[in-house]
Amino acid sequence: MKDDRNSKAKTAKLYRMVMPDHLCPFGLKAKDLLEREGFEVEDHHLKTREETDSFQKRENVETTPQVYIGGERIGGYDDLRVHLGHDSPDGDETSYQPVIALFAMAFAMSLAFCWLSFGTLLTPAVVPKFIAISMCLLALQKLQDVESFSTMFLNYDLLARRWVRYGKLYPFGEGLAGVLMLAGVATWLSAPVALFIGTVGAVSVFKAVYIDKRELKCACVGGDSNVPLGFVSLTENLMMIAMAVWMGATAL
């Protein structure tokens, strides 16, 4: 009897659209997640628009897929993730995953660059190339939606609060400095730009987080991230300052 109860507890019903011209991606993701969590899935296909509309009307729901566990309706894919403990209930949990992925990729690209250029990974060039690539990738994240980035940036940047257009110019400045530093050209331009935006950014973040004790989201990887403002953004700005000073010193 105990095994039967456990078997029933690990059974889920899934209703999802599987039509000739549309295969619901969230339905597939829900099925995959349930199976990875050890559920035996009763997979019910809604093969026509009429079947889908009829199901939604009968169950009083507005969307599909819909998941049922133990006779209880859980909801769609996002609701299922919350139910299984993969997401926070409000869906607004802070996370460092975006910046970890970005810096890891930047470091891998730096190693690849050095291997191609010098034939070895054991070269001091790894660090400056890593910083330059990181700047390029961070700028790319911001440039995907400059308006959204500038709005979040206004929450803490001291210069942007005095001159709003600076928030829209910042990603272009960071990207320009990163590309020039990666190429090792026009240090007379890249170093001052990186030094300026890095210094203003570092002061702004330090004031907002460590003096004013404000809990804000960081705009460093774009305007729709849940990365908390603090160490990551401060690191981004300090890297730009260090890179600018190093390149300026080597250019003398």
Q: In this predicted model, what pLDDT tens digit does every residue of 150-202 receive, in sequence order?
A: 998 998 999 999 999 999 999 999 999 999 999 999 999 999 999 999 999 99
CA atoms of 67 and 78, how far apart (whole Å): 11
Q: Could you say which of 83, 107, 138 is where a domain stops?
A: 83
174 and 78 part of one domain:
no
| pLDDT digit string, tens, across residues 23-82 | 999 999 999 999 999 999 999 999 999 999 999 999 999 999 999 998 899 999 999 999
pLDDT of residue 3: 43
40 and 118 part of one domain:
no
| Position 223 pLDDT exceeds 80 | no
Q: Per the structure, how many domains does the chain have?
A: 2
CATH of the domain at 74: 3.40.30.10
Once rounded to an integer, what is the mean pLDDT over residues 197-215? 92
137 and 46 part of one domain:
no
147 and 175 part of one domain:
yes
79 and 110 part of one domain:
no
In this prediction the pTM is 0.77
CA atoms of 70 and 132, how far apart (whole Å): 53
**Rounded to the nearest 5 degrees, what angle is found at the Cα of 163, between the Cα atoms of 159 and 166?**
75
SS (H, E, C) 118-157: HCCCCCCCHHHHHHHHHHHHHHHHHHCCHHHHHHHHCCCC
pLDDT of residue 73: 95
Q: Are 219 and 225 in contact (CB under 8 A)?
A: yes
| pLDDT digit string, tens, across residues 83-127 | 998 876 655 566 778 888 999 999 999 999 999 999 998 898 999
Strand residue runs (E) in the chain: 11-19, 22-23, 40-46, 66-69, 72-75
Task: From 50, 43, 39, 36, select the one nearest 11 (Cα to Cα).
Answer: 39
| 1 contact partners, CB below 8 Å, separation of at least 6 | none
The structure tokens listed for 124 are 């001091």
25 and 128 part of one domain:
no
pLDDT of residue 126: 94
60 and 107 part of one domain:
no
| Position 9 pLDDT exceeds 70 | no
The residue segments making up the domain with residue 31 are 11-83
pLDDT of residue 229: 77
Buried b (16+ CB within 10 A) or exposed e, 171-202: bebbbbbbbbbbeeeebeebbebbbbbbebbb
